[in-house]
Structures are given as structure tokens and as C-alpha cells.
Amino acid sequence: MSKIIALAGKGGVGKTTVAALIVRHLAETGQSPVLAVDADPNSNLGETLDIDVEKTVGDVREGFMKDPQGVPSGMDKIVYLEMLMNQVLIEREAFDLLVMGRQEGQGCYCMVNNILNRFTEELEKNYKYLMVDNEAGMEHLSRRTTGKVDMLLLVTDYALRGLRAVERIHAMLPELKLSVGKVGLIVNRAPKELGKAFLDECEKIGVPIICTIPDDGALLEFDMERRSLMELPGDSAAVLAVDGLMKKVIESIH
């Protein structure tokens, strides 16, 4: 059974960068097959991995809703949607990528969402790990019928606003139909020592800090040059931090 690692946090804290580095670690350490799921409509996970995303699950859903009678003659609707979903899945040697894309428009999406969720659940069985990059509200995870997450990583930068977003996300977990195994806090762009006010806030939230990632100039350089984070050198400060993080994560969920 696949292990599911999910990330959530306020926009702008570097969550997608962390997600890409997790994919990098899993691929580099032979943990394949890996499925990366970009479930944040505002995220650009594909860009950080140097992948051009032409179509998303949201595009499939919207296209079907606009023309539900457009199914080829003699083909079942479920088979047709699953065929479209297979076309959306982006396959690479070390990992695959599925981009959820736009949120739902107006109208009832129950039938098509049920089909898409079922397809995703069947797809998951083919992978050793799923890495899910979520929006702050975790809408995608909360809709999953399995509702299982082995490790939830809440990401903040070194700012109280980011931490307060983490606090809100953590507080709403009981309201979601999710079975969460472990929860850990990642502090991105962290200084060498975390200040007392920051640590006090962390203690109040009640989520242990599982990793601090220092500010790494290589990340900005790669972003400006539009280079894949898969190409970051192994001695990059961010890479080393995430490598250490993932050793803890893998050990804790197995």
C-alpha cells in the first residue's frame, strides 16, 4: 500500500519548493515509483520540476461538464473520463506528476468527482509514495474517499503570520474527514537559531518542529534561471535539510 505524504501551509512560505525537494529525495534514493500530486490551484510544482503542464484534472472536469454528451458513441462515461485522466498524468523516469488544477465552477460536480476520485485511488495503488502539495484549506485531501494521510507536513517560513496559518490548518483537522498518522512542522528560510517568540508560538500550536531549512541562495538562482530543482547539487543547504527530514519521515511511517 502506498504511503501518503502531504504538505500544507500559507502561500508564499516555500511549500512548493519543499514539495519539489521531497520528490527529488524520493527519486534520488530509489524510492520509486513516486506520484507527485499538485493539488494547490495556485501552486507551480511542475515548474519547479521543469515540466510543462498542458492539461489538468480540473480541465478534464470542466470540459466534461460543458459537454457531458460529448462522449464518443458506444463508449461508457466512466471509461471515457478515465481515458482523459490517463492523458493528464505526466510520466517521467523517476516520478509521475498529476496536476489537479482549477477549482470547481458552478453546477453539481458530484458524479464526475466521484469518478475522478475513484480513478485517483486506483492510480495510487501503483506507487510506493504519494507526495501531495495542498492548498491551505486542503480541499483535495478532505474530498478523498479514503481520507488517509501517513505524514502531514505543515510548512511555514520564519514569520508569525506563517505560523498562525499553520495553527488554523492544524485546528481544522478534526473537522475534515481525514485519518492523519503523523504531523510535523517545517520552518523554511530559517535562521541558525529560532527566536523565543517563534518557539513559544510553535509550542502553543502543539506541532513538533521536524525540520528547519536554512535560506539557500541556490534556490533563488535556480528559480531565476528556470532550472529544475532536481538538478540542485547534493551539498545544497536546502537539499541536505530535506534529505535529513525525509530520513525521519520514512522511518516514522514504516
- Condensed to tens digits (0 to 9), the pLDDT of residues 97-118 reads 999 887 777 767 777 777 777 8
DSSP-based three-state secondary structure for 191 = coil
Residue, of 222 and 113, whose pLDDT is higher:
222
d(Cα 155, Cα 136) in Å, to the nearest integer? 10
Place of cell 492544524: 170
In this structure, what C-alpha cell is assigned to residue 88?
493528464
pLDDT for 193: 96
Place of cell 505543515: 154
Place of cell 517563534: 198
pLDDT for 104: 72
Question: Is 70 exceeded by the pLDDT of residue 146?
Answer: no
- Condensed to tens digits (0 to 9), the pLDDT of residues 238-251 reads 999 999 999 999 99
Q: What angle do CA 30, 20, 85 make, to 5 degrees?
A: 85
The CATH classification number of 3-56+90-110+125-253 equals 3.40.50.300
d(Cα 45, Cα 101) in Å, to the nearest integer? 11
pLDDT for 203: 95
pLDDT for 169: 92
Show me where the domains of the chain are located: 3-56+90-110+125-253
- Report whether the peptide linkage leading into residue 233 is cis, meaning its omega lies within 30 degrees of zero: no
| 105 Cβ neighbours under 8 A, 6+ residues apart | 62, 65
Q: What is the mean pLDDT of the chain?
A: 90
* Closest among 129, 246, 233, 127 to 184, alpha carbons compared: 246
- Condensed to tens digits (0 to 9), the pLDDT of residues 48-73 reads 999 999 999 888 988 888 888 889 99
CB under 8 Å, gap of 24 or more: what pairs does 161-168 form? 161/10, 162/9, 162/10, 162/13, 163/198, 163/201, 163/202, 163/205, 164/201, 165/9, 165/10, 165/13, 165/136, 166/9, 166/10, 166/205, 166/207, 167/201, 167/204, 167/205, 168/136
d(Cα 96, Cα 189) in Å, to the nearest integer? 28
Q: Are 186 and 213 in contact (CB under 8 A)?
A: yes
Whole-model pTM?
Answer: 0.93
Label residues 48-79 b or e (16+ Cβ within 10 Å = b). Answer: bbebebeebbbbbbbebbeeeeeeeeeeeeee
Count the alpha carbons within 13 Å of 54 in the hemisphere toward its beta carbon: 6
